[in-house]
Amino acid sequence: VKSIAVLTSGGDSQGMNAAVRAVVRSAHYYGLEVFGVQRGYQGLLNDDLRPMDLRSVGDIIQRGGTILQTARCKEFETAEGQSQAAEMLRARGIDGLVVIGGDGSYQGANKLSKLGIKAMGLPGTIDNDIAYTDATIGFDTAVSIVVDAINKIRDTMSSHERSSVVEVMGRHCGDIALHAGLASGAETILVPEVPFDLNEVSERMRVNFATGKRHSIIVVAEGAGKGDDVARVIHEKSGIEPRVTVLGHIQRGGTPTAVDRILASRLGDFAVRQLMNGDSGKACGVVNGQLVTTDIDKVVHTKRAFNMELYELAMRLSQ
């Protein structure tokens, strides 16, 4: 490849900018021309691209969001939209593409790969719901934000001897809840991957309060239920009335952690090198510390394994 483009697609995540920076700087290092596509696949259809020089990605490694902006684009999901996008890239002499996004964005990259554009996917989502990578770009930051929020909630909970339900993001994946719950010493972690019984949760809370616990934090993954519903059932069953906090979009903003910046930098550079090697239709990831590529077809059809060992540890330590 001689000329590549980079886009961000789907929900944004912290570290996307660090990944864009890595793609642009590596491309220049290896003598490739590089374009930034504005607003994901929509930008391909609108021919909304600009050349990215070394300075265009200055001062963004620490910023949340994405300077390329992101979008969901229905038109691109049609075969016609996809061939139009491929034609547009070809007309500009662009033969490689790096797509930073989630599952849906990966599938778009795969379609373009089948139309002859070399395309690589990078996992950009806070949800950590992508297989064949230990973590996605943004996950570590989102977990840190949740832990920080729970620390604050905990201070006021202990003073008032209250319990709190904290609803966190993650879509169908419980990883944010699991990791943040373990790191913040939550009493209960409700995730879609593990069946739970709110009668048991309520009983445990009642017993723990009776034996001197001064506060109780229940972390609920959005994929497991609504914080309000969980709190209502607990109130009905135990008489304890938890306060509910829905953390929402603050989990997706703010400066990325060093871990996310390093992950994004490694993956962005790796994607460029893989394109230069002629690779296409692959997702880049880090598995046991090593950079790997996996067929997008395989990645999007594999459900990420849930870490039961961590979950059981969290439960053992939360008595």
Q: Which residue has the tokens 């000329």?
A: 3
Sign of CA dihedral 141, 143, 149, 154: negative
Would you give the binding string for ligand ATP spanning residues 121-160, x where CB under 6 A is met?
Answer: ----x-x---------------------------------
11 touches ligand ATP (CB under 6 A): yes
101 touches ligand ATP (CB under 6 A): yes
* CA 228, chain centre distance (Å): 24
39 touches ligand ATP (CB under 6 A): no
CB of 41 to ligand ATP, least distance (A): 4
172 touches ligand ATP (CB under 6 A): no
77-88 residues labelled b (16+ CB within 10 A) or e (exposed): eeeebbebbbeb
Let me know if 127 is a catalytic residue.
Answer: yes
Burial (Cβ within 10 Å: 0-12, 13-18, ≥19) of residue 53: exposed
Q: Which amino acid is at 245?
A: T
41 touches ligand ATP (CB under 6 A): yes
Q: Indicate the annotated binding residues.
A: 11, 21-25, 72-73, 102-105, 125-127, 154, 162, 169-171, 185-187, 213-215, 222, 243, 249-252
CB of 171 to ligand ATP, least distance (A): 7
**How far, in Å, CA of 286 to CA of 284, rounded?**
7
10, 43, 64, 227: residue in contact with ligand ATP (rule CB under 6 A): 10
102, 170, 181, 242: residue in contact with ligand ATP (rule CB under 6 A): 102
Q: Is 275 helix (H, G, I), strand (E, B) or coil?
A: helix
Structure-block tokens of residue 29: 């290092």
CB of 11 to ligand ATP, least distance (A): 3
Q: Which stretch binds ligand ATP (CB under 6 A): 70-78, 220-228, 236-244, 259-267?
A: 70-78
Report the residue number, 129 or 187, with the smaller CB distance to ligand ATP. Answer: 129
**How far, in Å, CA of 86 to CA of 293, rounded?**
23
Catalytic position from the list 12, 95, 127, 140: 127
By DSSP bridging, strand 163-168 and strand 216-221 are parallel
Structure-block tokens of residue 261: 């910046």
Sheet holding 163-168, edge to edge: 188-190, 216-221, 163-168, 243-246
CB of 112 to ligand ATP, least distance (A): 9
DSSP string, 188-245: EEE-TTS---HHHHHHHHHHHHHTT---EEEEEETTT--HHHHHHHHHHHHS---EEE
CB of 111 to ligand ATP, least distance (A): 5
Q: Which stretch binds ligand ATP (CB under 6 A): 72-80, 139-147, 231-239, 244-252?
A: 72-80
36, 43, 64, 108: residue in contact with ligand ATP (rule CB under 6 A): 108
Tell me the catalytic residues: 127
Residues in touch with ligand ATP (CB under 6 A): 9-11, 41, 72-73, 76-77, 101-105, 107-108, 111, 125, 127
